[in-house]
Structure 1
């Protein structure tokens, strides 16, 4: 569902551009709003969410899909935790649909999907591991890497139940906004993938903006 925001960038508390292949990690207080902005279009932002008071409780694709009865995310979707607790609500979305099934690229999946020589290419799981290594203050470890959301990525489910990676449906300037319902750690890998045609083989920057509760 398309829903525009009335929030102005000039009133954001914080804003930061994330280059393709880089990561973003931050804490959202309950009530704060995060906007992920697709600056140039069709760029996947692979995102993980954790409850700040206990990161072992984290975003669950299973609980979220079951409770909303839809495999896609858009305005109105409530992201739920592994304890089935509401974590964040998508309060605005100008893209219309986001993937919660396709998972994140890794060196292993680069090998399987593309070619053995692609194994050593940078991947989103590498970015997450770098983030938690460089920021031990968030209390995250490798075992905390689980379900993720691919904001702006188009992964249709075919008639026979398979996943297909299709051309993106986002565009320059489109965004999604999420309101934290609990204190939340957000970890984003701005996907560096060079082998998938959905971004025209050209990963580009995204921007994160945060507004006060």
Structure 2
């Protein structure tokens, strides 16, 4: 089993069938991945942050929680999570956001653009791309309700496993915002498997060890 690499500041889309597992892996640590998805059978029914927060009664999603669609249909269940810190409050970074923050009109790659282009081959309307499930993103909320962006907590080899509850079109990016990712953008990897059986378990165990070995070599 070999994971697929998403290069820094880029994205992709793919089909994920009901019952399949999507493992999103962090080879380097300190990197966010933005996830959005549509129902295959209902093209206008997409991932909903509001429904998911409401139905799970939390803004802190981890193992055991389910992501729902606008229509309230279960789309993805989180069945494993080695990091435990993600965001489901903010939309993907966009060129408009970078212009607002930088006070310039310079071009900057963004997750919104990468998702829009990735979903185009499946003819999914870009205006429906809303709040993404921001894997490994680390926001803190203070007592006044103000949100503060912090460096991601994911370590090299950390991963999250989602199980599809129905057939989906999934978009996934390696976040393009340097500030979100500890100062510079890095790749993300993903793997689609039929189950969490022995083969998948062996892979994730070896993946963690491989990532740890790479970090140890760089430190020498």
The alignment status of 1:157 with 2:141, answered yes or no, reads yes
**Aligned-pair distance for 1:46?**
0.9
Judge conservation of contact 2:48–2:68 (CA < 8 Å) in 1: yes
The Cα shift of 1:119 comes to 4.4
Q: Does 1:125 align with 2:112?
A: yes
Report the alpha carbon displacement of residue 117 of structure 1 after superposing the two structures with TM: 2.8
Alignment gaps of 5+ in structure 1: 1-9
TM-score, length basis structure 2? 0.84
TM-score, normalising length: structure 1: 0.87
Give the drift of 1:151. 0.3
Asked if structure 2 preserves the Cα contact closer than 8 Å seen for 1:102 and 1:163, the reply is no
Secondary structure of the residue aligned to 1:127 is helix
The answer on whether the counterparts of 1:102 and 1:155 sit within 8 Å (CA) in structure 2 is no
Q: Give the C-alpha shift of residue 31 in structure 1.
A: 0.2
Match of 1:41 among 24, 29, 41: 29
Task: Please name the residue that 1:61 is paired with.
Answer: 49
Q: Find out whether 1:186 has 2:170 as its counterpart.
A: yes
1:168 maps to which residue? 152
Residue 100 of structure 2 is aligned to residue 112 of structure 1: yes
Secondary structure at the residue paired with 1:111? helix
Residue from 130, 153, 170 that aligns with 1:146 = 130
> Any unmatched runs of 5+ in structure 2?
196-220
Deviation at 1:146, TM superposition (A): 1.5
Deviations, residues 87-137 of structure 1 (Å, cap 9, x unaligned): 110000000121001221111111223x1236411111111122133x1xx
8 Å contact from structure 1 (residues 34, 177) kept in 2: yes
- Contact 1:108–1:119 (8 Å) recurs in 2: no
Instruction: Tell me how large the CA RMSD over aligned residues is.
Output: 1.5
Aligned to 1:95: 83
CA distance in 2, matches of 1:149, 1:47: 5
Conserved? CA contact 1:19–1:190, under 8 Å = yes
**Alignment-derived partner of residue 6 in structure 1:** none
**Number of aligned residue pairs:** 195
1:85 aligns with: 73
Shift of 1:206: 0.9
CA 156–118 in structure 1, closer or farther in 2 if over 3 Å, else same: farther
Query: Which residue of structure 2 lines up, in the alignment, with residue 4 of structure 1?
Result: none
